[in-house]
Amino acid sequence: MSFKKNKYTIIKNAISKDLAAFCANYFLIKKQVYDTCMKYRYISPFENMLGFYETKDEQVENTFSAYSDIAMETLLLKCHSVMEKATGLKLNPSYSYARAYKKGDELKRHKDRFSCEISTTMNLGGDKWPIHLSPKENVGIPDGKKITVKSKAKGIAVDLDPGDMLVYRGTELEHWREKFKGKECVQVFLHYNNTKTPNAEKNIFDTRPHIGLPNWFRSK
Asked which of 59-68, 105-114, 131-140, 205-214 is least confident by mean pLDDT, the reply is 131-140
pLDDT of residue 51: 53
Digit-coded pLDDT (tens) for 189-212: 999 999 999 999 999 999 999 999
Give the helix ranges, DSSP H, for the chain: 3-6, 17-39, 45-47, 70-78, 80-87
pLDDT of residue 151: 43
| Backbone φ, ψ for residue 75 (5° rounding) | -65, -40
Question: Mean per-residue pLDDT for 120-147?
Answer: 72
What amino acid is encoded at 25 in this protein? N
Question: Mean per-residue pLDDT for 14-40?
Answer: 92
Are residues 8 and 156 in contact, defined by beta-carbon separation less than 8 angstroms?
no
pLDDT of residue 53: 59
pTM greater than 0.85 (yes/no)? yes
Digit-coded pLDDT (tens) for 74-106: 999 999 999 999 999 999 999 999 999 999 999
pLDDT of residue 54: 59
- Residue 98 β-bridge partners: 66, 188
pLDDT of residue 59: 83
pLDDT of residue 35: 84
Asked which of 7-21, 54-68, 158-172 is least confident by mean pLDDT, the reply is 54-68
Give the helix ranges, DSSP H, for 40-106: 45-47, 70-78, 80-87
Cα→Cα distances 174→92, 131, 195, Å: 22, 11, 22
Helix/strand/coil percent split, the chain, to 5: 30, 30, 40
**Domains and their CATH numbers in the chain:** 3-217 (2.60.120.620)
Higher per-residue confidence, 54 vs 164: 164
217 by Cβ neighbours in 10 Å (0-12 / 13-18 / 19+) ranks as middle
